[in-house]
Amino acid sequence: MPYSYTPLPTNHGFHSTKRRRIGLILAGLAGLVLFLSGVSLVLRKPIRFIPQKNFQDLHPPNVVDGSSPAASSSTTAVVSTLYTDSYIWGTAVLGYSVRQANVASRLLLPYIEDRISPEALCIARAVGWEPIATPLIKPPHNGKGIYFHFADQYTKLTVWTLDKLGIKKAVYLDSDTLVRRNIDELFDLPFNFGAVPDVHGSKGGFLTNFNAGVLALRPSSSVFNQMMKVLESASYPLDQAEQSFLNLFFVANVVRLPYAYNANLEIKRESPKLWEGLKDEIRVVHYTQVKPFIREHGGNTKTWGSFAEEVGWWHQVFDEMMGELRDTIEECQR
């Protein structure tokens, strides 16, 4: 009789099924975690740098200075900086707009040595700028973490050394700004440092941090030396370069100026009603979102979308500048 046996009971199939179920559950949970992480990244507001919550005693000057030296055209200056030839037309139109607004102060233009062509310097002088060769101030930590287009921006800090040229009060303006009305009152402020609150898109909104495109300051080489002393050791987001550093350095020792002195185009995008109410009071408009002087865009304001009117302001000043100084400027280009 053939050998036969009754198979022993086994749960092998049960374990196999159980393992498959557990695997599916774990895979599902992993997918859910990844999905929720993605959603949180999309919905989460960007982390803001708040210097007041990261206070470091970097010894900035007191914000109030009751001495308030008398302002005169020889001891006050409107200052900009030039790091590349591509911004020369912005710089030229800015300088011309300052004179159109009847600001009689000196026009000082620190520029990075060996970076700017003789042609660009000639155009700057034609408008009234006094070019001042200055060495590059390299970003701290060998530029780690900085946006590449901000790599030269620490050179802006040299404006604090203009006391060596006899300047007691200065208004710094980025070359992508345009003066619309007289700003002489900024020279009469009894403060060492003033700036306008910043405005960011991408849900950043209206910030308490200030924008470094327009600054009212009293030059001081001792303040500059203190900045250089703490530049490497200070802790702040490196991507925004000198703007983050200045926010940390001055922290509570800065007077917030009205938006009229730094009318960032982002204001229009964030709050069209606020912009409309502000428009007739604007002293300085800041072309943060568009650069009218970038050559490839040309002069066709129809290509500028919602900022066409503001770009038109810039082109109007450019046309008036060329109408008056064309021969001199074209001589620079020969």
User: What rounded mean pLDDT belongs to the chain?
Assistant: 82
Does the pLDDT at position 9 exceed 50?
no
pLDDT of residue 120: 97
317: pLDDT strictly greater than 80: yes
Residue written as token pair 């302001």: 313
Residue-level pLDDT at 242: 83
Whose tokens are 């964030």? That residue is 270
When pLDDT is cut at 50, 70 and 90, the band that residue 231 belongs to is confident
Res. 44: pLDDT tops 70 = no
Q: β-strand 263-264 against 76-79: which pairing, if any?
A: unpaired
pLDDT band at 230 (very low <50, low <70, confident <90, very high): confident
d(CA 310, CA 120): 25
Range with the lowest mean pLDDT among 196-200, 256-260, 302-306? 302-306
Domain boundaries, the chain: 67-327
* pLDDT tens track for 94-120: 999 999 999 999 999 999 989 999 999
pTM of the shown model: 0.80
How far CA 82 is from CA of 16, 173, 306, 326, in Å, comes to: 71, 11, 28, 21
Judged on CB neighbours under 10 Å (0-12, 13-18, 19+), 128 is middle
Q: What is the pLDDT of residue 199?
A: 87
Q: What is the pLDDT of residues 16-31, one digit of tens each?
A: 455 556 555 555 555 5
Half-sphere exposure of 132 (CA within 13 A, CB side): 19
**pLDDT number for residue 32:** 47
pLDDT digits (tens, 9 = 90+) for 131-161: 999 999 988 776 566 656 666 888 999 999 9
Q: Which of 147-151, 168-172, 178-182, 184-188 has the lowest mean pLDDT?
A: 147-151
Question: Of 29 and 177, which is predicted with more confidence?
Answer: 177
pLDDT at residue number 207: 75
Q: What is the pLDDT of residue 41?
A: 38
With CA atoms as reference, report the closest residue to 109 among 143, 139, 77, 132: 132
| Predicted local confidence at residue 13, as pLDDT | 47
pLDDT, position 140:
79
- Among 97-101, 284-288, 293-297, 323-327, the range scoring the smallest mean pLDDT is 293-297
CATH ID of 67-327, from 1.10.10.10, 3.40.50.920, 3.30.300.30, 3.90.550.10: 3.90.550.10
pLDDT surpassing 80 at residue 177: yes
> Half-sphere exposure (CA, 13 Å, Cβ side) for 267?
24
The pLDDT assigned to 15 comes to 47
Task: Order across the sheet with 177-179: list the strands.
Answer: 177-179, 284-286, 263-264
Residues 74-92 have pLDDT tens digits of 899 999 999 999 999 999 9
| 107: CB partners within 8 A, 6+ apart | 77, 78, 79, 95, 98, 99, 127, 128, 129, 130
User: What's the pLDDT at 18?
Assistant: 52
